A and B are shown apart, each in its own frame.
Chain A
Amino acid sequence: MMMNKNIRREDMSRAVIVHAILLTYTLVALYPIFLVIINAFKSRKGIFKDPMGLPNAETFSLDGFTKVLAKSNFELFFFNSFTVTVVTIVIVLLLASMAAWALSEYKFPGNTWLALYLAVGIMVPIRLGSVSILNLIVELGLINTLTALVLVYVAQGLPLAIFILTEFMHQIPKDLKEAARCDGVGEFKIFFAVILPLIRPAVATVAVFTMIPIWNDLWFPLILAPGDGKQTITLGIQQFIGQYVTDWNAVLASLSLAIIPILILYLIFSRQLIRGLTSGAVK
């Protein structure tokens, strides 16, 4: 093909090195996960007899999965987790990016202090406030609702999101905001129509960061919404994480199932990691 001729030889050798590095690290990152997955398909005995081996006739077992699927109301748990996660992400991204924009764009008295105030939340372990949060939720009559989880997660996700997004907002070329202002565009609209689209990679990154701890959280579902029909997937799965008797293959199976939805969410967000979003904007 025509194209081939135009691939640089030096690029080729560089590509080899680059891919070698990437593959090596990918292997490091994936091998343990690969172990999780193959072991999820093994009987408990199989796991410990030959942890590295692929499931074979002797060790293959879907016990883990059947247990998970039989014992818990998986669809419902998925739905709950999904709802909580997605709603939280949407709210966090919206509110955090708005706040970050205000902090990075406007000079007003106390700007730095407000930024600091909004960052305090990442400096204290949130579990510390569990009891107060629980009391608050009880008083609001939100106990055993997904709303309670969403509210707490939003509060929990905001500080980090604001912190990160504020930093990224600084990258946007000043001229663009100014052009919009000269275009007679209001501040809200500048934010939504110009700024947000341009920091999409950062927003997507923040979305991923917000999502991971929420999806994997066990604590707040336990105290705020342990009730029937409101369990999240992680809470549902915790039944398999025993103290003395442990169905490791069930744990592995359920946890590998549970990673799929966030992986999908990740893939959705990562499509926003676009190169050169601002290219062509300014000279």
Chain B
Amino acid sequence: GELVIESWRNDDIDIWNDQIIPAFNKEYPEIKVTFSPTPPTDYNALINAKFAGGTAGDLITCRPFDASLELYKQGNLAPLDDIKGMDNFSDVAKSAWQTDDGSATFCLPMASVIHGFIYNKEAFEAAGVEVPKTREEFYAALDKIKEEGSYIPMAMGTADQWEAATMGFQNIGPNYWKGEEGRKALIDGSQKFTDKPYIDTFTELASWSNYLPDGYEAISYPDAQNLFSLGRAAVYPAGSWDISLFNSQADFEFGAFPPPPAAGSDTCYISDHTDIALGLNAKSPNAAEAKIFLEWMTGSEFASLYSNALPGFFSLSNHKVEISDPVANEFVSWRQKCESTIRNSYQILSRGTPNLENELWNISAQVINGTVTPEEAGKATEAGLAKWYAPHQ
């Protein structure tokens, strides 16, 4: 049969066609695999429609948490616990694609993304600053760069909203709420967004507006990427996936550092977010072949192929993967130094209306724009959550 992989990763089509599928076919030449990506913005809607119409492909790229969980609950995704090699993944890695009680796994974890800051080495040199280790150093450095004036201190905008939440709030926040600890506390209701860690996160976020380019309210994500890659900005709040773009675009050296913790704190926390997995269409007529493919994906060959082809997407398997890209390597090295956590709005908390993730986008952007104060932001977020989430009521 012929396997069709549904995916939102249309940027990856070449990697699949030129590297991954040929590698698979070397082993299983009789199984034809087609990678069929769609625009990411339409992916969720599309995949739902295709399942409803019975035309979905055999292998389905899984968003983390609820979106895929819902597909599983509707019987669209097959349970994958019996796949050989599933134990190559840690429980944390699998948690994004499991039922709430952890009884069934329905997608095979592929990769996570890590947040941090990417910086322009030339800019740091020009301003005479070192890579910051602490929050205080970080802002001192930004102030210095601003003073020096030839670089925009930080490249980000709030036009698209999600960067404010993802590269801002979720990036620097874990250091305040202590990673997994805070995340779990939110879920069980013992912490609220009106608590200090969150207000502090918002407060720090609000201070970013000093360092962002003029008119950042209208600066979109590609604008920010380009500002940085064209060498006009010193620091870029990043997701690890940005690495490959900067590799191809930037003609200066750049490095990365994790979100700096407050001076004196002994642990650092990073957002190492489970982002992408692959599931099996429960009604696939080619389930047998699809499973062969999934099993192959649990192997180390895929892990290394994928991580190297897409620097910034880090395999979630336990295989030891050599990553050749230095910056990617830097990112992945933080897993050793710091505690990993995932974005706190993803598990369970975005199940109701208003949707916490969406709220965070909106509110984080507003915080930076200065249209709400950190306290108001905390209150509004908490109020939204309290509306439907019993532990917060």
Q: Do A and B interact directly, with beta carbons closer than 8 Å?
A: yes
Q: Taking beta carbons and an 8 Å cutoff, which residues of A are in contact with B?
A: 44-45, 48-49, 71, 127, 130-131, 134-135, 137-138, 143, 218-219, 222-223, 226, 228, 238-246, 248
Residues of B within 8 A of A246 (CB): 222
Top 7 nearest A-B pairs (CB, nearest first) are A134-B53, A243-B40, A242-B11, A48-B226, A131-B52, A245-B11, A238-B39
Contact of A143 among B55, B226, B241 (CB under 8 A): B55
Tell me whether A135 and B52 are in contact (CB under 8 A).
yes
Tell me whether A134 and B10 are in contact (CB under 8 A).
no
Residues of B within 8 A of A138 (CB): 53-55
Interface centre among B8, B14, B48, B222, by most chain A C-beta atoms within 10 angstroms, is: B222
Give the shortest distance, in Å, between B60 (CB) and chain A (any CB).
14
Give the shortest distance, in Å, between B331 (CB) and chain A (any CB).
15
Tell me whether A243 and B8 are in contact (CB under 8 A).
yes
B36 sits at the interface (CB 8 A): yes
Tell me whether A248 and B50 are in contact (CB under 8 A).
no
Residues of B within 8 A of A218 (CB): 39, 42
Give the shortest distance, in Å, between B46 (CB) and chain A (any CB).
6
Tell me whether A131 and B249 are in contact (CB under 8 A).
no
Give the shortest distance, in Å, between A199 (CB) and chain B (any CB).
37
Nearest-CB residue, chain A, relative to B51: A131
Nearest-CB residue, chain A, relative to B40: A243
Tell me whether B55 and A239 are in contact (CB under 8 A).
no
Residues of B within 8 A of A242 (CB): 10-11, 40
A127 to B242, CA, bound (A): 33
**Which residues of B27-41 are within 8 A (CB) of A?**
34, 36-41
- Number of residue pairs A-B, CB distance < 8 angstroms: 75
Tell me whether B55 and A244 are in contact (CB under 8 A).
no
Residues of A within 8 A of B140 (CB): none
Give the shortest distance, in Å, between B108 (CB) and chain A (any CB).
21
Tell me whether B37 and A239 are in contact (CB under 8 A).
yes
Nearest-CB residue, chain A, relative to B251: A45
Contact of B10 among A44, A127, A238 (CB under 8 A): A238
Give the shortest distance, in Å, between A134 (CB) and chain B (any CB).
3
Known: A218-B42, A245-B244. A223 touches B55 (CB 8 A): yes
Tell me whether A223 and B245 are in contact (CB under 8 A).
no
B383 sits at the interface (CB 8 A): no
Tell me whether B11 and A223 are in contact (CB under 8 A).
no
B49 sits at the interface (CB 8 A): yes
9 CB contacts below 8 A, A to B, read A48-B230, A134-B49, A134-B52, A134-B53, A223-B55, A238-B10, A239-B10, A242-B10, A243-B8
A45 to B226, CA, bound (A): 8
Tell me whether A244 and B241 are in contact (CB under 8 A).
yes
B13 sits at the interface (CB 8 A): yes
A208 to B223, CA, bound (A): 34
Residues of A within 8 A of B46 (CB): 222-223
A218 to B50, CA, bound (A): 15
A218 to B244, CA, bound (A): 27
Residues of A within 8 A of B229 (CB): 45
Give the shortest distance, in Å, between B163 (CB) and chain A (any CB).
11
Tell me whether A134 and B11 are in contact (CB under 8 A).
no
Residues of B within 8 A of A241 (CB): 10, 39
Residues of A within 8 A of B11 (CB): 242-245
1/0 per residue, CB under 8 A from A, across B237-257: the answer is 001011011000100000000
Give the shortest distance, in Å, between B276 (CB) and chain A (any CB).
12
What 12 new A-B contacts, CB under 8 Å, besides A242-B40, A248-B222?
Answer: A45-B230, A48-B230, A71-B13, A127-B45, A130-B49, A135-B54, A218-B42, A219-B42, A222-B42, A243-B39, A244-B221, A245-B245
A93 to B268, CA, bound (A): 66
Residues of B within 8 A of A228 (CB): 34
Nearest-CB residue, chain A, relative to B223: A48
Known: A138-B53, A245-B245. A49 touches B230 (CB 8 A): yes
Tell me whether A226 and B36 are in contact (CB under 8 A).
yes
A243 to B239, CA, bound (A): 13
Give the shortest distance, in Å, between B27 (CB) and chain A (any CB).
24
Residues of B within 8 A of A135 (CB): 52-54
A238 to B40, CA, bound (A): 10
Nearest-CB residue, chain A, relative to B52: A131
1/0 per residue, CB under 8 A from A, across B105-142: the answer is 00000000000000000000000000000000000000
Tell me whether B245 and A244 are in contact (CB under 8 A).
yes
Contact of A239 among B13, B45, B221, B245 (CB under 8 A): B13
A49 to B11, CA, bound (A): 23
Nearest-CB residue, chain B, relative to A242: B11
Nearest-CB residue, chain B, relative to A226: B36
A234 to B41, CA, bound (A): 15
Give the shortest distance, in Å, between A231 (CB) and chain B (any CB).
10
Give the shortest distance, in Å, between A271 (CB) and chain B (any CB).
35
Give the shortest distance, in Å, between A189 (CB) and chain B (any CB).
43
Contact of A131 among B37, B49, B221, B230 (CB under 8 A): B49
A242 to B15, CA, bound (A): 14
Give the shortest distance, in Å, between B162 (CB) and chain A (any CB).
11
1/0 per residue, CB under 8 A from A, across B35-75: the answer is 01111111001101110111100000000000000000000
Give the shortest distance, in Å, between B261 (CB) and chain A (any CB).
27
Give the shortest distance, in Å, between B90 (CB) and chain A (any CB).
25
Give the shortest distance, in Å, between A72 (CB) and chain B (any CB).
10
A242 to B11, CA, bound (A): 6
Tell me whether B38 and A222 are in contact (CB under 8 A).
yes
Residues of A within 8 A of B37 (CB): 239
Tell me whether A223 and B49 are in contact (CB under 8 A).
yes
Residues of A within 8 A of B9 (CB): 243
Give the shortest distance, in Å, between A249 (CB) and chain B (any CB).
12
A226 to B56, CA, bound (A): 10
Residues of A within 8 A of B48 (CB): 131
